[in-house]
Amino acid sequence: MEKKYYIVTYGCQMNVHESEKLAGILRSRGYTEAACEEGADIVVFNTCCIRENAENHAYGNIGALKKRKKADRGFLIAVGGCMTQQPGAAEKLRKKFPFVDIVFGTHNLEEFGALLDQKAGQKKAVVSIPEKEGPVREEDISYRTSYPNAWVNIMYGCNNFCSYCIVPYVRGRERSRAPEAVVSEAWKLLDEGYKEITLLGQNVNSYGNDAGGQCSFPQLLHKICEKEGKYRLRFMTSNPKDFGEELVEAIAAHEQVCKLIHLPVQAGSDRILRLMNRKYTAEEYLKKVEMLRRAVPGCQLSTDIMVGFPTETEEDFQATLDLVKAADFSAAFTFVYSRRSGTAAAAMEGQIPEEVQKERIMRLVELVNAQTREKSLSYRGKTVEILCEDYDEKKNLYLGRDEYGRMGYFASGRSRIGEFVKIKVSETSGVSLAGELITEEGE
- Summarize as ranges the residues that interact with ligand F3S (CB under 6 A): 11-12, 14-15, 48-50, 82, 166-167, 170-171
Q: What is the DSSP letter of 324?
A: H
d(CA 27, CA 137): 20
**Cα-based distances in Å from 39 to 43, 57, 67:** 10, 21, 15
- List strands edge to edge, sheet with 102-104: 32-33, 4-9, 42-47, 76-81, 102-104, 126-128
Picked from ligand SF4, ligand F3S, ligand SAH, none, the partner binding residue 267 (CB below 5 to 8 A depending on kind) is none
Handedness of CA 307, 308, 312, 314 (dihedral sign): positive
User: Residues 335, 398, 404, 409: which binds ligand SAH (CB under 6 A)?
Assistant: 335
CB of 364 to ligand SF4, least distance (A): 18
Of residues 89-108, those binding ligand SAH (CB under 6 A):
none
Q: What is the DSSP letter of 262?
A: E
Instruction: Work out the angle between the directed axes of helices 354-377 and 314-327 (0-180°, nearest 10).
Output: 10
Helices marked H in 254-304 — which ranges? 270-275, 282-295
Nearer to ligand F3S, 170 or 327 (CB): 170
Nearer to ligand SF4, 41 or 304 (CB): 304
Q: Is 186 left (phi over 0), alpha (psi -120 to 50) or beta?
A: alpha
d(CA 192, CA 214): 29
Picked from ligand SAH, ligand SF4, ligand F3S, none, the partner binding residue 337 (CB below 5 to 8 A depending on kind) is ligand SAH
Q: Does 162 bind ligand SF4 (CB under 6 A)?
A: yes
Q: Does 242 bind ligand SAH (CB under 6 A)?
A: no
299 is in an annotated binding site: no
User: Residues 128, 266, 320, 428: which binds ligand SAH (CB under 6 A)?
Assistant: 266
Beta bridge partners, 104, equal: 128
d(CA 245, CA 251): 10
Secondary structure E strands in 53-208: 76-81, 102-104, 126-128, 149-153, 155-156, 175-176, 196-200
User: Residues 106, 203, 238, 376: which binds ligand SF4 (CB under 6 A)?
Assistant: 203
Nearer to ligand F3S, 106 or 371 (CB): 106
Picked from ligand SAH, ligand F3S, ligand SF4, none, the partner binding residue 82 (CB below 5 to 8 A depending on kind) is ligand F3S
225 is in an annotated binding site: no
CB of 340 to ligand SAH, least distance (A): 5
Residues in CB range of 57: below 8 A, 6 or more apart: 10
Picked from ligand SF4, ligand SAH, ligand F3S, none, the partner binding residue 14 (CB below 5 to 8 A depending on kind) is ligand F3S
Q: Does 250 bind ligand SAH (CB under 6 A)?
A: no
CB of 203 to ligand F3S, least distance (A): 12
CB of 129 to ligand SF4, least distance (A): 20
Instruction: Work out the angle between the directed axes of helices 179-191 and 217-224 (0-180°, nearest 10).
Output: 30
CB of 225 to ligand SF4, least distance (A): 25
Please spell the DSSP secondary structure of 136-178, one letter per residue. Answer: ---------SSTTEEEEE-EE------TT--HHHHH-S-EEPP
User: What is the per-residue burial (b if ≥16 Cβ within 10 Å, else e) of 44-63?
Assistant: bbbbbbbbeebbebbbeebe
d(CA 156, CA 31): 28
162 is in an annotated binding site: yes
Alpha carbons within 13 angstroms on the beta-carbon side of residue 280 total: 21
CB of 60 to ligand F3S, least distance (A): 17
Q: Does 412 bind ligand SF4 (CB under 6 A)?
A: no
Stretch 283-322: interaction string toward ligand SF4, x if CB under 6 A: ----------------------------------------
Nearer to ligand F3S, 166 or 319 (CB): 166
CB of 346 to ligand SF4, least distance (A): 14
165 is in an annotated binding site: yes
Find, among 89, 103, 105, the residue nearest to 55 by Cα: 89
Picked from ligand SAH, ligand F3S, ligand SF4, none, the partner binding residue 168 (CB below 5 to 8 A depending on kind) is ligand SF4
Of residues 132-161, those binding ligand SF4 (CB under 6 A):
158, 160-161
> Which residue ranges make up the site for ligand SAH (CB under 6 A)?
50-51, 164-165, 167, 202-203, 237, 239, 264, 266, 304, 306, 335, 337-338, 340
Residue numbers belonging to the annotated binding site for [4Fe-4S] cluster: 12, 48, 82, 158, 162, 165
